[in-house]
Amino acid sequence: MELMKTTFLGSKGAKIQLLAIIIAVIVLAFVPKFSSAYLPLFLAWVLTYAVMSLAWTLFSGKTGYISLASAAFYGLGMYLQAVLGLNLPIVVTMAIGAAVCFGVAFGIGIITLRLRGVYFTIFTFALALFLNKFLHWFEVKFFHTKGRMVLAYDNVTVYYCVLVVFVIVLAVVLLMNKSRFGLALDCIGQNEDSAQHIGVNTTMTKVLAFAVSAAPVGAVGAAMATTIGYVDPDIAFKMLASFMPVLMAIFGGTHNTYGPILGAVVFYWLQDYLLRVTNMYQIIFGVVMVVVVLVMPKGIFGIIETVIARRGRSYKGEVIGDVQ
């Protein structure tokens, strides 16, 4: 822990970065007091996708193992809220959702993360489909219904709950980037065989990272379930919830902590806008996502870093030329 503290706050740039984050969180905390009734809900959805994108980057962005399990964990959180939310406060159900998703992801990771390549991706993709069909059968068989009503909370309460999860996830990502555990994940992503040779327990490191990345997704799933009032398997386990965090992270840039946040803001705003102006939003949205993946493989922050690097080289060349 001391190593994390020293490396993260050791430089002037890191201190400025931390100060900027604190100011941003304070501003976000006061938004509901000076805004319309709709804005807290809009920002809650933006922060939800930011949490899911950051969580995806925490594991997949570092290791190179592409997970499509976000829909499964998000849906589990929603269903836990539907089942437990009538008797427990939202904060408790969010904590339970996080714990359950951590445990499920840990178990799945133990089974699947010994495999490499596309097998893990296929399994995580199928997980949401399996939970969808299983819960549909379970509800019809034992409760003779397709879905469940969810106790509603006001938008401001939900917003603050999601904001807390966002701050926690951001803190975890920043600390992990400067920790030995984060370095081990980076080594796995670069060359897993080499990581094993230098003593990294690659399987357990991947399993823990996967489980940690699943927990906040379950928490925000439980929170956002209260905004829609009704949950059934088709609503809870939409595959869009698996693909959106991936595309948002790629759009912003997976090699920068703030890339997934930027991607979440831009993509959710675009989705919200298209939903209001056209009934063909899915087609347009799909085209935009394909273009983004093809044109900006390193994301917006990757483009910015490339431009800065080129200008730096050009400036250095001009200085050397003037000296000569």
What's the pLDDT at 170? Answer: 93
- Residue 95, pLDDT score: 97
Ranges of each domain in the chain: 2-241
Distance in angstroms (rounded) separating the CA atoms of residues 178 and 192:
19
Query: 88: burial class by Cβ within 10 Å (0-12, 13-18, 19+)?
Result: middle
CA angle 241, 96, 248 (to 5 degrees): 20
Which amino acid is located at 80 in the chain?
L
What's the pLDDT at 74? 96
Supply 47's token pair: 């922060």
pLDDT values of the chain reduced to their tens digit, one per residue, 324 residues: 443 444 455 566 667 777 888 888 888 888 888 777 788 999 999 999 999 999 999 999 899 899 999 999 999 999 999 999 989 999 999 999 999 999 999 999 998 887 777 888 888 999 999 999 999 999 999 988 888 999 999 999 999 999 999 999 999 998 888 889 999 999 999 999 888 888 889 999 999 999 999 999 999 999 999 999 899 999 999 888 888 898 888 888 887 788 889 889 988 888 888 878 777 777 777 787 777 777 776 677 767 767 766 766 554 555 455 555
Predicted pLDDT at 320: 54
Which structure tokens are listed for 237?
Answer: 């386990």
pLDDT at 88: 94
Q: What share of the chain is helix, strand, coil (3-state, %, to 5)?
A: 80, 0, 20
User: What does the pLDDT read at residue 2?
Assistant: 41
| Phi and psi at residue 296, to the nearest 5° | -125, 70
Burial class, 10, CB count within 10 angstroms (exposed 0-12 / middle 13-18 / buried 19+): exposed
